[in-house]
Amino acid sequence: MSQPSAHRQLPRGRIRVALHATRGFTLLELLVVMVIIGIVIAGAILSLGSTGRDRGLEQERDRLTALIGYVRDRGALMTTEYGILCGQHGYRFVYYDNLSMQWLPETLDDTLRERRLPSGLDLHLIIEGRPIVLDDAALKISQAPGALAALGTSTAAAAGSAPGSTSGFTTGLGGDNSAAAGTGGDPSVPADAPTVQTNTPQILLLSNGDTNSFQLTIERPSSKRSVTFKSAADGSISASDVIEAPK
């Protein structure tokens, strides 16, 4: 009587099925899967680009918010009248000097230095409901004759005024910042002295907490996204979230 074989033979059909089950993916199948994944990722990126966050715009909004809060606290502490002088692609802070009776750029505190917006961002300003044409040339530091000495003194001594007082300086709201500054009321300056560009701000940040009516927008024209700063009747200033205008 023959002994049974130690190895059991499978039918040929079953052998082919087993080999096919362990074969894995072909190169063509892998390429198809990779193409599908690429399409999905590209769609996600395009979707994020149209509805995602604009971190650059948010950063500029947060920076200006912090600077406004800082300068208002500084003005209240030092009884100094401050303002914001805006260009199309940047802004700087100025203060009113009672000695020379004119607006001067803040040069003692580096925090309040001139700020330039990153490429692709613009500023738009409305004062008292009227659009203002902005020019970066207005950001250039200008000093009327007799003001150089004031810049070398402390801001506290040079720019102080009575609490709650806004008299003694000209706002020039929405005016032409290239207008002549004159002699600033300084009797030591000859009447025929050459005139220079003024530092008159469009936005006022007064020491008593008041401000003028304004709406300042930082915009990214390429995506029509923007943030807007608005003043209220009580002197408060609010900043909006990033919004996207309908295309």
Residue among 142, 145, 148, 198 nearest 173 (CA): 198
CA dist 113 → 15, 84, 105, 189 (Å) = 81, 11, 9, 28
* Comparison of pLDDT for 133 and 141, the residue scoring more: 133
The chain-wide mean pLDDT, for the chain, equals 76
- Which residues neighbour 83 within 8 Å (Cβ) at sequence distance 6 or greater? 93, 94, 95, 96, 103, 200, 201, 202, 203, 204, 205
By 3-state DSSP, what share of the chain in percent is helix, strand and coil, each rounded to 5? 30, 20, 45
The pLDDT value recorded for residue 21 is: 52
* Amino acid identity, position 90: G
Q: Hey, which residues does 238 pair with through a beta bridge?
A: 230
C-beta separation of 117 from 59 below 8 A: no
pLDDT tens for 22-66 read 566 788 888 888 899 988 887 655 544 555 689 999 999 999 999
Is the whole model's pTM more than 0.85, yes or no?
no
Geometric angle at alpha carbon 176, from 174 and 180, rounded to 5°: 135
pLDDT class of 236 with cuts at 50, 70, 90: very high
Q: Hey, which residues does 95 pair with through a beta bridge?
A: 82, 104
The pLDDT value recorded for residue 9 is: 60
* Comparison of pLDDT for 111 and 40, the residue scoring more: 111
Q: Is the pLDDT of residue 87 over 80?
A: yes
pLDDT tens for 199-229 read 899 999 999 999 999 999 999 999 999 999 9
- Which residues neighbour 131 within 8 Å (Cβ) at sequence distance 6 or greater? 124, 125
Q: Is the pLDDT of residue 190 over 60?
A: no
Residue among 175, 114, 168 nearest 142 (CA): 114
Geometric angle at alpha carbon 163, from 87 and 115, rounded to 5°: 20
C-beta separation of 204 from 83 below 8 A: yes
Kindly indicate whether the domain formed by 55-244 is annotated with CATH number 3.55.40.10.
yes
In the chain, what are the domain boundaries? 12-51, 55-244
Residue among 99, 175, 182 nearest 142 (CA): 182
Q: What percent of the chain has pLDDT over 70?
A: 63
- Which residues neighbour 213 within 8 Å (Cβ) at sequence distance 6 or greater? 127, 128, 129, 231
